[in-house]
Amino acid sequence: MDSHHRGHNGAKRKMHRSLEGSALVRPTSLAKDDSHLIATETIAAISTPAGEGAIALVRISGPNAIPIADKIFRGKEAPPEFASHVQHLGEVVSESGDLIDQVMMSIHRAPASYTGEDLVEISCHGGTLVTAKVLEACLRTGARNARPGEFTERAFLNGKMDLTQAEAVIDLIRARTDLALRSATEQLEGKLGEKIASTRRSLVDLLAHIEASIDFSEEGIAPDEGDSLRARLDSVREQITALLATADRGRILRDGVRIVIYGATNAGKSSLLNRLLGYERVIVSDTHGTTRDTIEETVNLRGVPVRLLDTAGLRTSTSDIEREGIARTERWLQKADLRLHIVDRNAPPPGHFEQNANGNELLVLNKSDLSEHPKWKNTNALRVSA
């Protein structure tokens, strides 16, 4: 083996060691073996939404999860004897032995659990009080109340998922369209994390090659080798650019496209919102300044959540309430993905009117059932009647 090859491998190992503590990389490397972090505290929480339902789920995770389950469960078998991932019928009892509820309990032994720790799942009846009593029994026998997201945090720390997968959990829960659901499930499967890991590996290899060329070559980096390194660097840059380009798509699928409907009073903004929704959501009146606050509704447009915002009409007003509504309109315009500027086509363009040249604004000439003012002739706009 020549000195350059040895140097390349040495530099690569050094670079890997310097990066392996990063938050995104560490869980990925842990997930490849059985090593996992054991928390010293055992946590418990209700995992189903608040309110009444047929079934509720209470989870316990940590080193004392099974002993705690043993203290509160009464059935044919004791929890320490349960086979992993098998449901058992029994009862949850209080410290004094009083029956709280009939439940199904399962043990998920470490590391083959969601958190990577010993995990107990208790399926009880979904009443608000009975669920609280089951959780209270867990807390009284040694568990503490879990912080929001702590089960997923432990899954991340124990190498069960990387940061992109941890983010995907909440995206999956909040998905409102099929496209958002598909994106979240793909991310949960690790597809985004693998793309990031692949880009990282390319960078580590490239940096190691540069270090080896500097440290173990008398002439440094040769011209032809420099061209090769630049080409590889351009390839990595393209990978990063492609990854960054998915960020807006992910935000839109998660939060929705923000479409702000704005314009002067009585231009037909509220009427347009009602037409887009297909029902009368907003009061429509000939009185100027009827809409004084931002009204938001969400629709599903071909799998993409679209947030439609009807805003207070823009004009000079002496009313403090209306002025606050106009100020909110201006703030929403700064956040909009798309701005629909609604104008009455029957009236002349306002004196200060200037068509926005940005790509995120669409001029909408409303009341197309009425005659169009001559000054709107040849204006590039969408003409509607709402």
| 154 compared with 223, residue with greater pLDDT | 154
Q: Is the model's pLDDT at 11 over the cut of 60?
A: no
pLDDT digits (tens, 9 = 90+) for 253-305: 888 889 999 888 878 888 888 888 888 887 777 666 566 678 888 888 888 88
Does 151 map to a domain?
yes
Question: Which of 60-64, 178-182, 281-285 tops mean pLDDT?
Answer: 60-64
Q: Do residues 75 and 5 share a domain?
A: no
Q: Measuring CA to CA, which residue among 153, 160, 58, 182 is closest to residue 113?
A: 160
pLDDT above 70: percentage of residues in the chain: 82
Give the residue from 231, 254, 277 where a domain finishes: 254
Q: What is the spatial distance between Cα 168 and Cα 174, in angstroms, rounded to a whole number?
A: 10
- As given in the structure block, the two tokens for residue 232 are 């590889």
CB-based contact 185:172 (threshold 8 Å): yes
Does 77 map to a domain?
yes
Q: Do residues 234 and 294 share a domain?
A: no
Q: Do residues 100 and 146 share a domain?
A: yes
Q: Measuring CA to CA, which residue among 201, 142, 146, 275 is closest to residue 22?
A: 201
Average pLDDT value over all residues in the chain:
81
Q: How confident is the model at residue 35 (pLDDT cuts 50, 70, 90)?
A: very low
Does 105 map to a domain?
yes
Q: Do residues 338 and 307 share a domain?
A: yes
Q: How confident is the model at residue 37 (pLDDT cuts 50, 70, 90)?
A: very low
Q: Measuring CA to CA, which residue among 99, 97, 102, 96 is closest to residue 56?
A: 102
Q: Measuring CA to CA, which residue among 334, 296, 294 is closest to residue 313?
A: 294
pLDDT at res. 308: 92
* b/e map 329-349, b = 16+ CB within 10 Å: beebbeebbebbbbbbbebee
Q: Is the pTM of this model over 0.95?
A: no
Q: What is the spatial distance between Cα 300 and Cα 312, in angstroms, rounded to a whole number?
A: 24
pLDDT digits (tens, 9 = 90+) for 197-226: 888 888 888 888 788 777 766 655 665 677
What is residue 178's three-state secondary structure? Answer: helix
| 59 compared with 348, residue with greater pLDDT | 59
Contacts 24+ apart (CB under 8 A), 62-66: 62/117, 62/118, 62/143, 63/38, 63/39, 63/117, 63/118, 64/142, 64/143, 65/117, 65/118, 65/119, 65/120, 65/143, 66/107, 66/118, 66/120
Q: Do residues 219 and 241 share a domain?
A: yes
Q: Is the model's pLDDT at 351 over the cut of 70?
A: no
Mean pLDDT of 227-238: 86
Q: Do residues 235 and 265 share a domain?
A: no
Does 165 map to a domain?
no
Q: If residue 281 lies in a helix (H) or strand (E), which one and from where to where? A: none
pLDDT at res. 272: 86
Q: Do residues 242 and 263 share a domain?
A: no
Q: Do residues 152 and 299 share a domain?
A: no
Q: Do residues 247 and 180 share a domain?
A: yes
Q: If residue 335 lies in a helix (H) or strand (E), which one and from where to where? A: helix 320-335
Give the residue from 254, 283, 302 where a domain finishes: 254
Mean pLDDT of 22-46: 57
CATH number, domain of 375, equals 3.40.50.300
pLDDT at res. 293: 78
Q: What is the spatial distance between Cα 314 and Cα 333, in angstroms, rounded to a whole number?
A: 12
Q: Do residues 262 and 374 share a domain?
A: yes
Does 37 map to a domain?
no
Q: How confident is the model at residue 34 (pLDDT cuts 50, 70, 90)?
A: very low
> CA torsion sign, 204 to 205 to 206 to 211?
positive
Total domains in the chain come to 3
* DSSP state letters, 22-62: STTHHHHHHTTSS--PPPSS-EEEE-SPSS-EEEEEEEEES
Residue 282 per-residue DSSP state:
S
Give the residue from 120, 138, 160 where a domain finishes: 160
Q: Do residues 21 and 64 share a domain?
A: no
CATH number, domain of 143, equals 3.30.1360.120
pLDDT at res. 21: 40
Q: How confident is the model at residue 20 (pLDDT cuts 50, 70, 90)?
A: very low
- As given in the structure block, the two tokens for residue 57 are 């789920």
- On the question of a cis peptide bond just before residue 111, with omega within 30 degrees of 0, the verdict is yes
CB-based contact 261:308 (threshold 8 Å): yes
Residue 214, domain extent: 1-31+170-254
CB-based contact 340:364 (threshold 8 Å): yes
Q: Is the model's pLDDT at 370 over the cut of 50?
A: yes
Q: Do residues 130 and 192 share a domain?
A: no
pLDDT digits (tens, 9 = 90+) for 309-334: 998 877 777 677 777 888 888 888 88
